[in-house]
Structure 1
Amino acid sequence: GRSRLLWGAARWLWPRGAIGPARRPLSSSSPPLQELFAQGGPLRTFLQRQAGSEAHLKVRRPELAAVIKLLNQKEQELRETEPLLHDENEDLRKLAENEITLCQKEITQLKHQIILLLEAMLFTSEIFDMYQQYAAFKRRHFETLEYFPSEIGGLRHASASIGGSEAYRHMKFEGGVHRVQRVPKTQKQGRIHTSTMTVAILPQPTEINLVINLKDLRIDTKRASGAGGQHVNTTDSAVRIVHLPTSVVSKCQQERSQLKNRELAMTKLRAKLYSMHLEKETNKRQNARKIQIGSKGRSEKIRTYNFPQNRVTDHRISKTLHDLETFMQGDDQLDELVQSLKEYADYESLVEIISQKV
């Protein structure tokens, strides 16, 4: 069986570097906050570019848009207030000093907010690497379907197809919110922050008789666009398919070929529709007794990766493993946790069957 995975930070979804099984550690000598936001630097350039496309950003990443807009306003306010420090009026100078102190404090807080958003993207990239390496460890086929990097590193959004024996049966437990606790990698030192990203697991209906009527589809094409697309071109290669009865949308602009993108978009649409059908049937069976493992949907906070304490804890079965660096390599430790989840889910299913017969 096959399964399809979707990655993304909880608020938006980001990547870093070329795709490959090798890990991509950040330098331990990360720049301080002032240097990170310096004029002409990659982060400042990125923020200016995003602010210039505010309408697009509000749709794709509304919270980031709000923070960037507020940061720009506060920095403008600071620039306008600083000349008053040299005013002849002493009262006005004192008022300006107070305003500048408050403004600088707010600017620092906004910059930290942006760093947290970046941290979520970097963590998403690490999770993507972990699952790619886990697929190799289990000798499963791993095909990247979408991979959207941002200009400053981190994974904005990605999806992949994993094929192999019982792939979905094992991977389905990874769906949900993953939380990371650590000093952000973009800083040398500082307090521990908490960021999140979300994983969605969709079964791939390879042998399921799922009929999709063409008259129920609206297919739109347009040019591939924007940073993050692997190929930005001048042909109408990007494809968007809407399943009218359910309003489910599937999009793809990964390939240069419109035909290939249409094929991939249809594959993703089938997976989404099948997942909806499967969830509906599962909910029917679980109305009497909600199974703990893998039944709370993608909003469930399933796992915490605590780097200062060097541990990973799965909250569904209260299981903690240490040596987080080894766990993130996606081999024995991750497999041990997946097997524990599978065993517990099997146990809960057995209890449910017995309870229905009593």
Structure 2
Amino acid sequence: MSENSFLSRLEFIKIKFEEIGQQITDPDVISDMKKFIALNKEYRDLEPVVAAYERYKNVISNLSFNREVLATEKDDEMREMAKMEIDGLEAEQTELEDSIKFMLIPSDPQDAKDAILEIRGGTGGDEAAIFAGDLYRMYSKYFEKKGWRTEVTSYSEGTAGGYKEIVLKVSGDKVYGTLKYESGVHRVQRVPQTETQGRVHTSAATVAVLPEADEVDVQINMNDIRKDTYCSSGPGGQSVNTTYSAVRLTHAPTGIVVQCQDEKSQIKNFEKALNELRTRIYNMEYQKHMDEIAKQRKTLVSTGDRSAKIRTYNYPQGRITDHRINYTVYNLPAFMDGEIQDLIDKLQFTENSERLKESELS
């Protein structure tokens, strides 16, 4: 992209940003809540781009001034100062251009959605369930730091602790766009609590992150759903209540089954289960889209391939390795305490770099 076309595109974005800024002060727009929210979101999305553009214009202006000084000034000291300024400004120009190009990459519309997170113990028996519980704790700590809300919809506890399966809804700012990198097989290497000989075992848990579907995304025929109710149970099989409040929904056309036992009210459990069912139906189509992306890309950073081994947690070495970007750090205790943002940032950068190459080639 030439400098002129780059600047023209940014100027167009600035004009659009200013127009939206005027629109959101219009009483007619304010009274239309749906339109007002959409315009506010677009305004916030464009704001950092426009701010970077203003800094970029200032750098270009200063570069032009110092190059003029270098070309016309006779004083050696002034020329030397201009050279130093030019070196710093050219580096800043390159850095800003790269940053703005990343900002201009179209985001996946799903990224702004809330998400359904499911963690399942895989190979490894009791140890896999314990590790699934460790992952749940890790994510819970991370969600607390982000200020996100969580609602557990269903779970099945492991016989030695942890979870055979736990499903929860996560709500907040750009939840899916952040968590989508966690989908895949997480492998753990450590001495299990159930091991008496002190040998290191390998087991695994599977994480799936699904963008939550809105009602407008999926229309469900209620005649296609079979509803079953049962008594919800707590740890150790204890009955949480004696009423049939837990709900299981089976969608006949797809065979998808979801259940919710989190609430004491059958109505609330039904609403949560229906929402999850809608999300899972929606994701059957969304997965096809992700599979197409996977065919085009060399990496599997966020293709949604849930069978891919994405990360190893090695306890004896205190090591975490993400196999998609060959990234290794030795801060396992902090990582398991929810300090995972640094790795997510690197995964986002890798994906955006790949998407930037795609856009430049197209």
Preserved contact between residue 2 and residue 206 of structure 1 (Cα < 8 Å): no
Q: Following TM superposition, by how much is the alpha carbon of 1:163 offset from its aligned partner in structure 2, in angstroms?
A: 1.2
SS of 1:256's equivalent in the other structure is: coil
Check the 8 A contact 2:248/2:258 in 1, yes or no: yes
> 2:180 touches 2:304 (CA, 8 Å); kept in 1?
no
CA distance in 2, matches of 1:171, 1:230: 33
Alignment of 1:79-94 (within 5 A): none
Aligned CA distance change for structure 1 residues 288 and 323 (closer, same or farther; 3 Å): closer
Compute the displacement of 1:185 (Å).
2.6
2:299 and 2:216 mapped to 1: Cα distance?
25
Aligned to 2:345: 339
The equivalent residue for 1:69 is none
- Deviation, 1:230, is 7.1
- Alignment map for 1:174-323 (pairs within 5 Å): 174-187=182-195, 190-206=198-214, 208-224=216-232, 231-289=239-297, 291-295=299-303, 297-323=305-331
Instruction: Measure how far apart 1:306 and its partner are.
Output: 0.5
Deviation at 1:289, TM superposition (A): 4.3
Q: 1:196: Cα distance to partner? A: 0.6
Q: How far apart are residue 132 of structure 1 and its match?
A: 0.3
- Offset of residue 284 of structure 1: 4.0
Equivalent residue for 1:135? Answer: 143
Question: Are residues 230 and 158 of structure 1, via their aligned partners in 2, closer, same or farther at CA, if it must alter by over 3 Å?
Answer: farther
- State the secondary structure of the residue aligned to 2:125: helix
Q: Which residue matches 2:37? A: none
Q: Is 2:261 the partner of 1:149?
A: no
Using the alignment, how far apart are the partners of 1:224 and 1:161 within structure 2? 19
Q: CA RMSD in A?
A: 2.3
Cα distance change, pair 230–340 in 1 and its aligned pair in 2 (3 A): farther
**TM-score after normalising by structure 1:** 0.64
CA distance in 2, matches of 1:128, 1:230: 22
Cα offset, 1:338, TM superposition: 0.6
Q: Does the 8 Å CA contact 1:238/1:258 hold for their aligned counterparts? A: yes
Give the CA deviation at 1:346: 1.4
The CA distance in 2 between the partners of 1:201 and 1:224, in whole Å, is 25
Instruction: Provide Cα deviations, 1:79-120, integer angstroms capped at 9, x if missing partner.
Output: xxxxxxxxxxxxxxxxxxxxxxxxxxxxxxxxxxxxx52221
The residue aligned with 1:348 is 354
The gaps in structure 2 that reach 5 residues or longer are: 1-112
**Distance in 2, Cα, partners of 1:150 & 1:306:** 22
CA 1:207/1:257 → structure 2, altered by over 3 Å: closer, same or farther?
closer
Q: Does the 8 Å CA contact 2:248/2:273 hold for their aligned counterparts?
A: yes
User: Any gaps of 5 or more consecutive residues in structure 1?
Assistant: 12-115
1:329 maps to 337
Between Structure 1 and Structure 2, the one with more helix by share is 2
Q: How high is the TM-score relative to the length of structure 2?
A: 0.63
* 1:5 is the counterpart of 2:142: no
Q: Structure 1: which 4+ aligned runs deviate by more than 6 Å?
A: none
Number of residue-to-residue matches in the alignment: 250
Contact 2:231 2:245 (C-alpha < 8 Å) held by counterparts: yes
Q: Look at both structures and tell me which one has the larger radius of gyration over its CA atoms.
A: 2
Superposed displacement of residue 343, structure 1: 1.1
Kindly indicate whether structure 1 or structure 2 has the higher relative contact order, using CA contacts under 8 Å at least 6 residues apart. Answer: 1
Relative to structure 1, the CA distance from residue 163 to residue 224 in structure 2 (aligned partners, 3 Å threshold; closer, same or farther) is closer
Equivalent residue number for residue 125 of structure 1: 133
